A and B are shown apart, each in its own frame.
Chain A
Amino acid sequence: MTVRHAELWMAIATILLSLAFMYKSTDGLSIGWIPGTGPGSGAWPFWLSTGMLLASLWTLVRWFRGATPEARSSEVYISRETLVVVGTSAGAILFLLAATHFIGMYAALLLFLLFYFRFIGRHGWRATTLLSIGIPVFIFCLFEWALQIPLPKAITEPLFYPIYDLMYS
């Protein structure tokens, strides 16, 4: 896909998004001017999303006219090389978030960091292991111990009971 195509698709996506916001703003809310009280509860989001729609249409018109540098560009939007570099990172984050729901944030972080340091960064096993364990431990100390913000643990919860025993005894 070239930048030129990407700009067209993005304009279409922003138009659809604006329409979704406009539709949702009318959902049980008043978008008009209520005499004596001013704009209704849906007016602000509705008319601003209408503005989003107009701005997107404007971009679309400019695209057809070739008015933006992007609309004239025939460069590749996301090259294969970029896809590999950015895609693996984004995919790793996606995995981290999804895994958090099942094995909790600490275990997911451990796997994420392990993968990143070893397979993207190509660091040695020693540095990889040290950092992959050290960072979650640091996060644990800072969040759970110092700031008292519990991070999600899902099924790994019971593993933390002995640590709590140590922390609060």
Chain B
Amino acid sequence: MKALRRLFLIPALVITASVAVLMSATASAAWQPKKPIEFIIMAGTGGGADQIARLLQGLIEKKSLSPRPFIPINKPGGSGAEALRYLKDKAGDDHVVLVTLNSFYTTPIIQKNLGVDISQFTPIGRMALDTFLLWVNTDQKDITNLDNYVMKVKKAGKNWKVGGTGTGQEDSILTAMMESEFGYKVTYIPFPGGGTVAKNLIGKHIDSTVNNPAEQNEFYRAGKSKPIVQFTEERMQAFPDVPTARELGHDIVYYMQRSINGPPGMSKEAQDWYINLFKTLFNSEEWQKFCVEDGLTCDQWVAGNDLAAFHKEQAARHKALIEKVGAAAITGQ
């Protein structure tokens, strides 16, 4: 009999315990993650977005900001198409967030049958704006400014090789923008990853590239590559002597946003918790230092509805850009 009672006692205990767990979860007002959080990166290992995600993960751990860890998962398939679809399918899940590139805007426009509407995603916060510069090998001594760059490219025509990270990526859009602004046509050669592009520029397998500062900085410091023009609104602190395209009378301004977004239908409480977390990270000394060193712009914290408005504006801008230069100019065929 005693044994029988003990037998009943075990399930009873388990039930009480699980009810208690459930109660405590609903009782506390502030939302807290209950399991490890999937930190989806819409690009491959080693790229800019990946570095940022892993840095943020490290900082969260170091500062013990979250009771559950953030687990970076790379989903680079189809220029982020796979990541976007994954997030869409995770609608209503409070334990998954996405680190974005600009393919967040362009991929749904170019791959029409993807069926993803980014305005439904839950905006959390914008961590940084990445910038672009036009780079050439230092050995090209006759290129000193934008004018003689354009002249040389026009003369070379299709023989001028511009390297990039892939058709449909940010730099290919920027290259297409330059082609339509200056009225030349170049050969665009895609490489997997900005680092490989940089190496091919130094090895003289390509003639020029639009790279993020982070990818060229070391070669620049070693005197192997030089920036010709920057595509920002104002000159960056790190490149005080390089003119912006706008100063020279060409209205080409282009940024890449690095933001954190949740799946559609994330609960308000969870969204607030994430906003709070990433705001703390944004304002941390480590993050701001990383931004300065990597040539990222991190002046303004944009979160929640403001980020949604920013996304809306950027998506519209990318749509217009792609229409203007023609999707064909970007997709190459």
Query: Is chain B in direct contact with chain A in the complex (CB below 8 A)?
Result: yes
Q: Which of A67-75, A129-137, A159-167 contacts B (4 or more CB under 8 A)?
A: A159-167
Decide: A150 and B71 in contact? CB cutoff 8 A: yes
Decide: A161 and B36 in contact? CB cutoff 8 A: no
Interface residues in B, total, Cβ within 8 A = 16
Whether A41 touches B333, Cβ cut-off 8 Å, given contacts A36-B158, A150-B71, is yes
Closest B residue, CB atoms, query A149: B71
Closest B residue, CB atoms, query A40: B333
Q: Which residues of A contact B18 (CB under 8 A)?
A: 158, 162
B38 interface hit (Cβ, 8 Å) = yes
Decide: A150 and B68 in contact? CB cutoff 8 A: no
Closest B residue, CB atoms, query A160: B35
Decide: B333 and A164 in contact? CB cutoff 8 A: no
Q: What does the 1/0 interface line of B51-83 toward A look like (CB < 8 Å)? A: 000000000000000011101000000000000
Decide: A148 and B21 in contact? CB cutoff 8 A: no
Whether A30 touches B17, Cβ cut-off 8 Å, given contacts A149-B71, A164-B68, is no
Interface centre among B18, B36, B68 (most CB of A within 10 A): B36
Decide: A161 and B333 in contact? CB cutoff 8 A: no
Q: Which residues of chain A in 35-85 are interfacial with respect to chain B, using CB atoms and an 8 Å cutoff? A: 36-37, 40-41
Which of A157, A160, A168 sits near B67, CB closer than 8 Å? A168
Closest A residue, CB atoms, query B187: A37
Q: Which residues of B contact A150 (CB under 8 A)?
A: 35-36, 38, 71
Decide: A161 and B34 in contact? CB cutoff 8 A: yes
Whether A30 touches B333, Cβ cut-off 8 Å, given contacts A148-B69, A150-B71, A161-B21, is yes
Q: Which residues of chain A in 121-169 are interfacial with respect to chain B, using CB atoms and an 8 Å cutoff? A: 144, 148-150, 157-158, 160-162, 164-165, 168-169
How far, in Å, is B327 (CB) from chain A's closest CB? 13
In the assembled complex, the Cα of A148 lies from the Cα of B54 at a distance in Å of: 13
Which of A144, A149, A157, A162 sits near B21, CB closer than 8 Å? A162
In the assembled complex, the Cα of A144 lies from the Cα of B18 at a distance in Å of: 21
Decide: B158 and A164 in contact? CB cutoff 8 A: no
The 10 closest A-B pairs by CB, nearest first: A148-B71, A161-B34, A164-B35, A150-B36, A168-B68, A162-B21, A168-B67, A161-B21, A30-B333, A148-B69
List chain A positions with a Cβ less than 8 A from chain B.
30, 34, 36-37, 40-41, 144, 148-150, 157-158, 160-162, 164-165, 168-169
- Excluding A158-B18, A168-B68, 18 further A-B contacts by CB distance (< 8 Å) are A34-B333, A40-B333, A41-B333, A148-B36, A148-B71, A149-B71, A150-B36, A150-B38, A150-B71, A161-B21, A161-B34, A162-B17, A162-B18, A164-B34, A164-B36, A165-B21, A168-B67, A168-B69
